[in-house]
Structure formats: structure tokens, C-alpha cells
Structure 1
């Protein structure tokens, strides 16, 4: 059945992060995905990575389409709009939209540019040090 013929079961939210060699790097992003699922119980939520980790954006997008999503919002989990967000990501989003012409794919701005995130980062940075903080590296 084509995406255009489906009844939308739920919106799709595709969280997009950079990726790293260390699998522990993804833990905060997995926590964000779990929290988004809790905040938006009717949405299908997937986490995707630009490089070094999987799934990539195309695979996560395919999963959302297979789940019946005809609207997908891509949310870059980046602090700013550097080259990956300004150049690489729009090309990946365009490829996803082209592969699924019956699906509306939207790209949000980097979350780090949202005033809520800026405030949360400032509040975290302004906290008194606690034992959870790591000591500074020495040369």
C-alpha cells in the first residue's frame, strides 16, 4: 500500500544526532527519545545518526513510513546549525522525501537554537559543582 493511501496512524518524529565511535555517547540521545515518547504517546519516535552509528536517517525514516506515518518531522539534536545541519541534513531529508512522495517530511531547526534549550543549558552550566562532575583532564 502506498504512503498516500494509508490512514495516518500517528505522526513521526525522527530525532537526528551526529554519532560517535563510543556507544555510550548515544545514551543521552536515547534518553531524549524515551522522554519524547513519554511526552508524545501518540507519535512514532525514532533516533537516527549522521555517521558512525546506526540507524541512519534513511533507515529510521523507512521505519516510520512502514509504521504508517505520512508526516515526519526531523529534529536535529545539534547545539547549533553548523555544516552538518545546514548542508548534509537537508540533502538527507530531501532524499527521504523523494523516496516517499506521499509523506510530508519537515525539518526543524537545531534544538540548541531553541530558547528553552538555551535556558536549560545555562541553568545546567550555572549549577554548583557536584560529585557527578568529572575532574579536568591534565596534559
Structure 2
């Protein structure tokens, strides 16, 4: 079984907006060298989720985790992403696509944001 990971972000018109997400992808690639990692975007930027999922499936990934790099599970994560993953699963029946919770809900991310806010108090 070959594993893949899609880091899924919102996207923006300004290409510099993607820089922190590209850094996340680079860190994941370094920490998990056996996993194929793609960064994908909901809108304004490429690749989109469908393209990233198609690319990973074409590369032989049979188990693909999709991690929304969103602070919370708003309408996009609850409504849009499941439909996009259903379409991917229909095109790639031998590939399992798993949607994970938005990273902003994880205790580690909440703690990191709180720590950054506390650090800001000292400046």
C-alpha cells in the first residue's frame, strides 16, 4: 500500500499567501519521506483537490489522507470537501480517501496559537 497526503488549504489571489502552507508541506515531506505529499487549494490557486487526488492516485497511492489546513470546520470542510472526495473516490475505486478534521481543531494547533498570542504580549 502506497500512502499519500493532501494538505488542503483555502487559497488566495496573492501567491505569497501559500508560503506558510508550502513550509508545512516541506516539513511533512522531511518528517515522512515515504509518503507522497501534495498541497491543494479550494479556490484561486492550483492544484485543486481533484487534481492533487488524481495525481496521487496515478502515482500509485492507494490510501490518501486529506488534511484541511483550516482553523475550523466551516462550510467548506463540512459541505464542499466531502463531495469533492466522493467524486475522487468514484474516479479511483481502488484508492481510499480519508478526510481528517481541520487542523485548527487539534490541541497542538490551539496550544501553538495560544503560545504565539502570549509571546505577542511580551513585545
Q: Do Structure 1 and Structure 2 share a fold, with TM-score over 0.5?
A: yes
Report what 1:63 is aligned to.
55
Count of aligned residue pairs for this structure pair: 123
Extract structure 1 runs of 4+ deviating beyond 4 A. none
Alignment match, 1:126: 118
SS at match of 1:70: strand
Match of 1:85 in 2: 77
Secondary structure of the equivalent of 2:61? coil
What's the counterpart of residue 43 of structure 1?
A: 35
How much does 1:130 deviate?
A: 8.2
Which structure has greater helix proportion? Answer: 2
Matched ranges for 1:91-110 at <5 A:
91-110=83-102
Instruction: Determine whether 1:23 maps to 2:26.
Output: no
Q: CA RMSD in A?
A: 1.3
Give the equivalent residue in structure 2 for 1:75. Answer: 67
Greater strand share, structure number: 2
Q: CA deviation at 1:62?
A: 1.1
CA distance in 2 between partners of 1:20 and 1:130 (Å): 31
Q: Work out which of the two has the higher radius of gyration on C-alpha atoms and give 1 or 2.
A: 1
User: Which sections of structure 2, spanning at least 5 residues, go unmatched?
Assistant: none
Unaligned 5+ segments in structure 1 are 1-7, 132-139
So what's the TM-score if we normalise by structure 1? 0.85
- Rounded to whole Å, the distance in 2 between the matches of 1:60 and 1:47 is 7
